[in-house]
Chains A and B, each alone.
Chain A
């Protein structure tokens, strides 16, 4: 996982609330044994209109949104299934941060393990951001701050451990493997269970 210190980008706005992981990547694309290349299926069923033609409202299809690294979405983003394919697909699209007023627990956990930063903002800030996708946002991982062009900063919660993992580009497994003595001790004490 590459280190993530700053994300500086305009955003892609998806104002809808409760965007579930079945929307982020429909289940029929989960029959894979790989984690790479899933971006092509992201929001797959929102790409086309009912008549099968490309939907001009689909935000990832708009030329002006190419290369944007921040998704700003309505409340309760990532609810539903635990599929890690959802953050894999978003990272594959080039995203580095998802901003919402609430982000579902399992999605948040999965995102952090893949260098995708979940940024929770108050509802009022979220509304402003959704209305201004052309603002260049600066997200500072070390300072836990999201800044907008007029100079205002907004703090966001980020677990200290997850923050270190992001800043150093390391994953959790190394830390867990280093706890092997404690794990073995626990197992010896609880051999009956």
Chain B
């Protein structure tokens, strides 16, 4: 047999009916994750057609997008932002009961953001096909799974048949050679990659991330990388499973146990791309070039190193984006004032992300203008963080410590950035109004976000306590004085 890529192997092993000129392939779905926002119309469609859920045990549900991140009131009632949000959450509960679907609901101690709990519980495993009505489903590709976002009609298809009609996308290898510099992490890396290939650089493709810098990442870092594949337009992102993956899975509640686990590891090892396997496109980048990276514009491809200057604004799209962001053309991006910091989301709401932010916040106080929310990605992340005292560091710095959920990443639950405010956010999208009408978003790592919260402006975390260094990097004088 010809040498195959990881993606080829995942695809081939899930084809129920091969694709032909006249019809796409029927592809089997091992794990279907659902949440409250993109599922109600799919269940309604099933009911209208009087169809049962084909394989309820392969569907798992959680509530994350519309859910409050403030704890329940004294009477135990959750404080929803509006009655519609509450109705949507309750509808998911009803649908799960009616169709026998396991739900990690608001009262579950295993609940959280769908792309955080899947891996955390061991539901996400190598070799699987995983779909969800959410574009950040690509996160699960970090385990060597084929995982991608679908629309609500397709949520209905999976509920009714556990299958999807799909044309096979093209493949793309993104190889990151070398070692990331100290203080530079997975978020910087993926922003750098999207900045290089563009917000549509992966359209029509499934990306496999390879190379020494990818191998050196822990599972949480790999999830951050795969999570943002969609921000380059890619259908999915994936990384071949290895010892790091197996170690992560060995302690998960729902992963195979004992001899079954050993047998699974043997199967999983065979998933890696064969020597000499061909990709439709190949891109090679050097990890040593990556610096702490932030976005300056209104799509995730507008990424810059923290020590770079903003574009000159001669290009129409850039000029428009700079005007929206309120950033002066050609100025250094370090030194730009910020108002809000959000640490959380399916991109950066895991324990290692919260540790990274806490390491910067420890013993510090937020800049007086800055409001900061730290939102754990799941109930388990919250418990583990609290056991380490991260909540106390966050609160002592003057930031808010919240209940798990998508929160300010998508701003559906009332956690909003006000019009005109600049937010430094560890989430995945800086589209106009993404974090609330008129909000301005700078995407960054937890480390860069926490440093900005302390300084009140964008700053290289290495120079946070060095005002001369900050000044050399163009920080406006009055802002430096204010920070001192």
Binding site for B on A (CB under 8 A): 16-18, 20, 22-23, 26-28, 30-35, 45, 75-76, 79-84, 102, 104-106, 109-110, 113-114, 159-161, 164, 171-173, 175-177, 179-180, 182-183, 186-187, 190, 193
Docked Cα-Cα span, A154 to B431, in Å, equals 32
8 Å CB interface, B52-75 against A? 54-55, 65-66
Q: A106-B235, A179-B163 are in contact. List 9 more A-B contacts (CB 8 A).
A: A22-B431, A80-B135, A84-B153, A104-B203, A160-B22, A176-B161, A176-B164, A183-B54, A186-B28
By the criterion CB–CB under 8 Å, are A31 and B200 in contact? no
Query: Residues of A contacting B41 with CB < 8 Å?
Result: 33-35, 84
Can you sample 14 A-B contacts with CB below 8 Å? A22-B429, A28-B412, A28-B437, A33-B88, A79-B233, A82-B38, A82-B133, A82-B151, A84-B153, A109-B150, A160-B22, A161-B165, A173-B157, A186-B28
By the criterion CB–CB under 8 Å, are B84 and A176 in contact? no
Q: Are A175 and B160 CB-contacts (below 8 A) given A33-B40, A33-B91, A79-B199?
A: no
By the criterion CB–CB under 8 Å, are B160 and A173 in contact? yes
**Which among A17, A34, A109 is the interface contact of B151 at CB below 8 angstroms?**
A109
By the criterion CB–CB under 8 Å, are B16 and A183 in contact? yes
**Which among B65, B84, B167, B203 is the interface contact of A76 at CB below 8 angstroms?**
B203
Docked Cα-Cα span, A164 to B23, in Å, equals 10
Q: Are A176 and B412 CB-contacts (below 8 A) given A35-B41, A84-B38, A114-B153?
A: no
Query: Residues of B contacting A35 with CB < 8 Å?
Result: 41, 152
Docked Cα-Cα span, A27 to B408, in Å, equals 11
B96 to chain A, nearest CB (A): 14
**Which among A27, A160, A190 is the interface contact of B410 at CB below 8 angstroms?**
A27
Convert B141-180 into 0s and 1s, putting 1 for each residue whose CB lies closer than 8 angstroms to a CB of A.
0000000011111101100111111010100000000000
A120 to chain B, nearest CB (A): 11
8 Å CB interface, B172-211 against A? 199-200, 203-204
B113 to chain A, nearest CB (A): 15
Query: Residues of A contacting B22 with CB < 8 Å?
Result: 160-161, 164
Docked Cα-Cα span, A176 to B88, in Å, equals 28
B320's closest neighbor in chain A, by CB? A16
**Which among A17, A27, A79, A81 is the interface contact of B411 at CB below 8 angstroms?**
A27
Convert B110-151 into 0s and 1s, putting 1 for each residue whose CB lies closer than 8 angstroms to a CB of A.
000000000000000001100001110000000000000111
8 Å CB interface, B302-361 against A? 317, 320
A41 to chain B, nearest CB (A): 12
Docked Cα-Cα span, A125 to B161, in Å, equals 40
By the criterion CB–CB under 8 Å, are A106 and B299 in contact? no
By the criterion CB–CB under 8 Å, are B23 and A161 in contact? yes
Query: Residues of B contacting A28 with CB < 8 Å?
Result: 411-412, 437
Binding site for A on B (CB under 8 A): 16-17, 21-24, 26, 28, 30, 37-38, 40-41, 44-45, 49, 51, 54-55, 65-66, 82, 84-85, 87-88, 91, 127-128, 133-135, 149-154, 156-157, 160-165, 167, 169, 199-200, 203-204, 230, 233, 235, 299, 301, 317, 320, 410-412, 429, 431-434, 437-438
Q: SS class of chain B's interface: helix, strand, loop or mixed?
A: loop
Docked Cα-Cα span, A34 to B91, in Å, equals 11
Docked Cα-Cα span, A126 to B17, in Å, equals 37
A179 to chain B, nearest CB (A): 5
Query: Residues of B contacting A102 with CB < 8 Å?
Result: 200, 203
Docked Cα-Cα span, A187 to B51, in Å, equals 19
Interface centre among B21, B85, B165, B320 (most CB of A within 10 A): B165
**Which among A31, A171, A177 is the interface contact of B37 at CB below 8 angstroms?**
A31
By the criterion CB–CB under 8 Å, are B149 and A177 in contact? no
B82's closest neighbor in chain A, by CB? A31
Query: Residues of B contacting A106 with CB < 8 Å?
Result: 135, 149-151, 230, 235
Docked Cα-Cα span, A102 to B66, in Å, equals 31
B188 to chain A, nearest CB (A): 21
Query: Residues of A contacting B54 with CB < 8 Å?
Result: 183
By the criterion CB–CB under 8 Å, are B161 and A180 in contact? yes
By the criterion CB–CB under 8 Å, are B204 and A33 in contact? no
Query: Residues of A contacting B433 with CB < 8 Å?
Result: 22-23, 26, 45
B105 to chain A, nearest CB (A): 17
By the criterion CB–CB under 8 Å, are B28 and A31 in contact? no
**Which among A17, A30, A80, A177 is the interface contact of B160 at CB below 8 angstroms?**
A177
Docked Cα-Cα span, A163 to B163, in Å, equals 21
Docked Cα-Cα span, A31 to B150, in Å, equals 18
By the criterion CB–CB under 8 Å, are B135 and A81 in contact? yes
B40's closest neighbor in chain A, by CB? A33
By the criterion CB–CB under 8 Å, are B135 and A172 in contact? no
By the criterion CB–CB under 8 Å, are A18 and B135 in contact? no
A20's closest neighbor in chain B, by CB? B431
Query: Residues of B contacting A164 with CB < 8 Å?
Result: 22
Query: Residues of A contacting B23 with CB < 8 Å?
Result: 160-161, 175
Docked Cα-Cα span, A28 to B128, in Å, equals 33
Query: Residues of B contacting A183 with CB < 8 Å?
Result: 16, 26, 28, 54, 161-163
By the criterion CB–CB under 8 Å, are A193 and B163 in contact? no
Query: Residues of A contacting B317 with CB < 8 Å?
Result: 16-18
